[in-house]
Amino acid sequence: MNEFSLKYGCNPNQKPARIYMEDGGELPVEILCGRPGYINFLDAFNAWQLVKEIKESTGKCAATSFKHVSPTSAAIGKPLSPALKKACFADDIEGLDDSPLACAYARARGTDRMSSFGDWIALSDECDETTAKLIVREVSDGIIAPGYSEKALELLKTKRKGTYNIVKIDPSYVPAPVERKQVFGVTFEQGRNNFKIDRALLTNLVTKNKALPEEKATDLIISLITLKYTQSNSVCFAADGQAIGVGAGQQSRIHCTRLAAQKADLWHLRQHEKVLSLQFAEGIGRPEKNNIIDLYLSDEESGDVLGDDVWRKNFAVRPAPFTHAEKEAYLKTVSGVSLGSDAFFPFSDNIERAFRSGVSYVAEPGGSVRDDLVIEAADRHNMVMAFTGMRLFHH
């Protein structure tokens, strides 16, 4: 197949639409089910590159959840703690621990469930049955992977009444070294961003503290590869083998950092015992549970402002208050978080905000006229910071 006709482009009025190979060759994908659209394929191809690179760099299988051409999270196949399983709504999946790929997707989907609602999924390895069991019960637009087991494909084809978008990609496909796109009738051309992100990128440690454990280096690598396929400006927090907060597409870097930090804080708070012990009313769906948890964590006094009706409708037992002071105290216990930035920090305010969300390790390009002030702030908080020397803008 060297061309695939799309229903429309980004919007219904943008017709005709298609994907094709300029050289007339075969597309590197096979559509096994459904009819993916323009935005679906933008997500699919960006997401596939992300998981492919994470696996190449870390040696571990990877998964990502994409939405509107930016990842909500990305993760490698590490086992989940009991608390994280419950926080990710994956504690009832039998055999989860036996499937690293399922663990990777449970982490990626469970990081920012609100943003992942209606996501596009990418897997670095063949989709197995356990991973498919996780996917079929989530609201999702489609998936791209290098292959599917027979049982996994059978399960996925039941989703959305048999119309779920399932794409198989040739893992050996290598795109041309030059890429092009049009804007306003003008063709842009550039070399592909084939810059390799690996452990060697983290050797220029500019802070007094130079103790960078391998697992933290892996988190920094995951954050940087995630940023490579995130709409800029962007900042990514990572911990325990996954991106836990992505601040994407902001004009100001401090706004990227604040957004990513807020999402990372929510990821930590979702694993608090007060959240894990919430007793929902019978019949409350998974998306509704997630929205209520978000309200529970966002409301300063966890119910005092929202009112009794919300809790009476959604809970079997009214939740114990989770005060602002309790949340702040819990978040102050967080440390060891890694942070990547797709461009240099122009001011030290980013470091100060990151520290409040438990950041201990930082990777950024460097090159600001205020690098000395940024390093000074990192030293003040005993952080380890690497200058990578490489900007990772993505548009």
- DSSP string for 69-90: TEEEEEEE-PPPPHHHHHHTT-
Q: pTM here?
A: 0.95
pLDDT at 299: 64
Q: Are residues 104 and 169 in the same domain?
A: yes
Q: Are residues 281 and 376 in the same domain?
A: no
| 68, containing H or E segment | none
Could you give the CA distance from residue 243 to residue 132 in angstroms, rounded to a whole number?
21
Q: In Å, how far are 82, 266, 267, 333 from 272, measured between CA atoms?
A: 12, 10, 10, 12
Say whether 233 is catalytic: yes
Q: Are residues 257 and 284 in the same domain?
A: no
In a domain, 190, yes or no: no
pLDDT at 81: 95
Query: Which residue out of 55, 67, 85, 133 is catalytically annotated?
Result: 67
In a domain, 361, yes or no: yes
Query: Which residue out of 68, 255, 274, 289 is catalytically annotated?
Result: 68
Q: What CATH code is carried by the domain that includes residue 234?
A: 3.40.140.20
In a domain, 189, yes or no: no
Q: Are residues 94 and 211 in the same domain?
A: no
Helices (H) and strands (E) in the chain, counts: 14, 15
User: pLDDT digit of tens for each residue in the chain (395 aa)?
Assistant: 789 999 999 999 999 999 999 888 899 999 999 999 999 999 999 999 999 999 999 999 999 999 999 999 999 999 999 999 999 999 999 999 999 999 999 999 999 999 999 999 999 999 999 999 999 999 999 999 999 999 999 999 999 999 999 999 999 999 999 999 999 999 999 999 999 999 999 999 999 999 999 999 999 999 999 999 999 999 999 999 999 999 999 999 999 999 999 999 999 999 999 999 999 999 898 889 998 898 888 865 555 545 677 777 888 888 888 888 999 999 999 999 999 999 999 999 999 999 999 999 999 999 999 999 999 999 999 999 999 999 999 99
State which residues form the domain around 290. 277-321
Q: Are residues 302 and 339 in the same domain?
A: no
Q: Are residues 215 and 317 in the same domain?
A: no
Say whether 268 is catalytic: no
φ, ψ (nearest 5 deg) of residue 282: -65, 135
Q: Are residues 207 and 286 in the same domain?
A: no
Q: Are residues 342 and 222 in the same domain?
A: yes
Q: For the chain, what is the domain count?
A: 3
pLDDT at 321: 83
Query: Which residue out of 233, 290, 314, 350 is catalytically annotated?
Result: 233
In a domain, 358, yes or no: yes
Query: Which residue out of 13, 161, 194, 395 is catalytically annotated?
Result: 395
